[in-house]
């Protein structure tokens, strides 16, 4: 079974405002000055960053801080997160051509259902995998390998927008497509690049 695995933030959903507001509301509660949106988005997409230090000057955020972040994350996603234009069409094209369609996101697993339902694309996915106590964030390949296992993939491609995504695909030994209509830029090292939905579908349809 051929399978297309999609990242969420910056790939299918424009969540830049939601992420910025979540981080900065937590900072405000800690009496810290707000951060620029560009810095926040760059930080979350770069491998090896300690986001606790980058965002809150804390090496290891407490459980209560993480819980507060997730609560705000849900609130702001509900208010501001939207699909990029044409994403629903791309996902449905994949389904209509009998691809299995999977989401693999570094966002917390327990936030994903509400986000995808709000964006009216939840029902399209055959599997939805997020980060949790048991599933590490990308660039660890665990969620990509788990996706293949759950849908019985014979071939799989991962579609994302960041170096974390590209490294996860490399670690999982699967083809990777970098998209640049959201947070990402063209990758010189990715096997495939797409700057538009049309380009992405042209590549997927030949996979």
pLDDT digits (tens, 9 = 90+) for 115-152: 999 999 999 999 999 999 999 999 999 999 999 999 99
What residues does each domain of the chain span?
A: 2-14+82-205, 16-80
pLDDT of residue 207: 93
pLDDT of residue 77: 86
Task: Write the DSSP symbol of residue 123.
Answer: G
Cα–Cα distances (Å) from 183 to 29, 99, 127, 128, in that order, read: 27, 25, 23, 21
- Gap between the Cα atoms of 137 and 171, Å rounded: 13
Cis status, amide bond into 139, omega within 30 of 0: yes
pLDDT of residue 103: 98
Q: What angle do CA 53, 70, 7 make, to 5 degrees?
A: 85
pLDDT of residue 60: 83
* CATH number for region 2-14+82-205: 3.40.50.1000
- Gap between the Cα atoms of 95 and 109, Å rounded: 23
Low-confidence stretches of the chain (pLDDT < 50) are none
pLDDT of residue 71: 86
* pTM, full prediction: 0.89
pLDDT of residue 122: 97
Contact between residue 148 and residue 156 where contact means Cβ atoms under 8 Å apart: yes
Using alpha carbons, select from 147, 111, 112 the residue that is nearest to residue 127.
147
pLDDT of residue 46: 85
């Amino acid at each position: 079974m051929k399978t297309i695995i999609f990242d969420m933030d910056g790939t299918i959903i424009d969540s830049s405002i939601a992420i910025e507001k979540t981080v900065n509301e937590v900072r405000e509660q800690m009496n810290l000055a707000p951060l620029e949106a560009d810095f926040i988005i760059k930080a979350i997409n770069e491998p090896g960053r300690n986001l606790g230090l980058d965002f809150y000057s804390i090496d290891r955020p407490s459980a209560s801080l993480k819980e507060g972040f997730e609560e705000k994350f849900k609130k702001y996603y509900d208010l501001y997160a939207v699909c990029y234009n044409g994403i629903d069409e791309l996902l449905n094209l994949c389904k209509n051509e009998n691809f299995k369609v999977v989401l693999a996101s570094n966002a917390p697993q327990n936030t994903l259902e509400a986000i995808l339902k709000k964006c009216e694309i939840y029902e399209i996915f055959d599997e939805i995998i997020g980060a949790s106590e048991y599933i590490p964030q990308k660039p660890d390949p665990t969620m990509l390998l788990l996706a293949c296992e759950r849908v019985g993939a014979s071939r799989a491609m991962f579609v994302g927008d960041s170096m974390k995504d590209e490294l996860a695909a490399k670690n999982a030994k699967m083809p990777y497509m970098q998209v640049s209509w959201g947070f990402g830029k063209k990758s010189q090292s990715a096997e495939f690049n797409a700057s538009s939905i049309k380009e992405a579908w042209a590549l997927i349809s030949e996979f």
